[in-house]
Amino acid sequence: MSTTEPTARIPASLRTEALEQLLTERGLVDPAVMDKFIANYETNVGPLNGAKVVAKAWTDPEYKKRLLDDGTAAIKELGFAGPQGEHIVVVENTPTTHNVTVCTLCSCYPWPVLGLPPSWYKDPAYRARVVKEPRKVLSEMGLDLADDVEIIVRDSSSEVRWLVLPERPAGTENLSEEELVPLITRDALVGVAKVQAP
């Protein structure tokens, strides 16, 4: 690889690994502490938590009501809380209404239930375009919605972070909460995709 190659062309995973190695060699980072942070975001914080929230809502009508009434409190019931999760509002997608989230100012995102935001969520093009032409942006991301489906763009901020409760797909009525969890993706929780039946 040439030293003049722009860093944007080097995969993020390689850049991250190189940075971690450099910080470790200089004694600025303890590898054990770094591994603990990485494990935390892979297992304790992230889209798996959001999937558990949705699966619980799909299988427990009383929990679903609490989730839609006070997202933050209902999410805390499952043990998911922390920075960037102080005020989460949950909105439900239906056959006639589709919610999609964005942060037009920066990249506010409900970390306790979605982990760190993906690069496309932080991209200025997504942040600007999804507000102006949401149907076109969703289509470009692989989600084509019927013309009669109303699209509502929810703008996250430091005061409120949005989480989408996606539609439960047909054919999953007999699946348990545990069986539903693997079907629910981060993109469905942001609103740029639908949950697919197995």
Say what the pLDDT of residue 81 is: 87
Region 43-60 average pLDDT: 90
Region 98-110 average pLDDT: 92
Tell me which of 2, 108, 139, 157 is the catalytic residue: 108
Is the pLDDT at 40 greater than 70, yes or no? no
Residues annotated in a binding site: 103, 106-108
- Banded model confidence at residue 11, pLDDT cuts 50, 70, 90: confident
Is the pLDDT at 140 greater than 60, yes or no? yes
Residues annotated in a binding site for Fe(3+): 103, 106-108
Is the pLDDT at 2 greater than 60, yes or no? no
Q: What is the percent of the chain with per-residue pLDDT over 70, rounded to a whole number?
A: 90
Instruction: Compute φ and ψ for 194, nearest 5 degrees.
Output: -110, 155
- So where are the chain's domains? 11-43, 47-190
For residue 167, give the DSSP letter: P
Is the pLDDT at 36 greater than 80, yes or no? no
Region 125-133 average pLDDT: 96
Tell me which of 13, 107, 157, 158 is the catalytic residue: 107
Among the listed residues 95, 104, 96, 109, the one whose alpha carbon sits nearest the alpha carbon of residue 132: 104
| Helix, strand, coil percentages, rounded to 5, for the chain | 50, 10, 40
The answer to whether residue 158 is catalytic is no
Instruction: Tell me the per-residue pLDDT of 76-88, one tens digit each, with 9 for 90 and over.
Output: 999 998 888 889 9
The domain at 47-190 falls in which architecture? Alpha-Beta Complex (3.90)
Region 83-97 average pLDDT: 93
Select the more confidently predicted residue: 187 or 4.
187
Tell me which of 106, 139, 157, 176 is the catalytic residue: 106
Q: Specify the 3-state DSSP secondary structure of 133.
A: coil
DSSP string, 81-120: --TT-SSEEEEE--SSEEEEEE-SSS----HHHH-SPPHH
The answer to whether residue 139 is catalytic is no
The answer to whether residue 156 is catalytic is no
Please count the other Cβ atoms lying within 10 Å of the Cβ belonging to residue 131.
Answer: 14
Instruction: Compute φ and ψ for 155, nearest 5 degrees.
Output: -95, 110
Give how far Cα 48 sits from Cα of 52, 146, 181, 184, Å.
Answer: 6, 29, 7, 8
- Banded model confidence at residue 23, pLDDT cuts 50, 70, 90: confident
Region 176-193 average pLDDT: 97
Say what the pLDDT of residue 166 is: 98
User: 45-72 burial string, b = 16+ CB within 10 Å, else e?
Assistant: bbbbbbbbbbbbbbbeeebbebbeeebb
Tell me which of 2, 103, 157, 176 is the catalytic residue: 103
Select the more confidently predicted residue: 123 or 84.
123
Locate 95 and state its tokens: 């056959």
Q: How high is the mean pLDDT of the chain?
A: 89
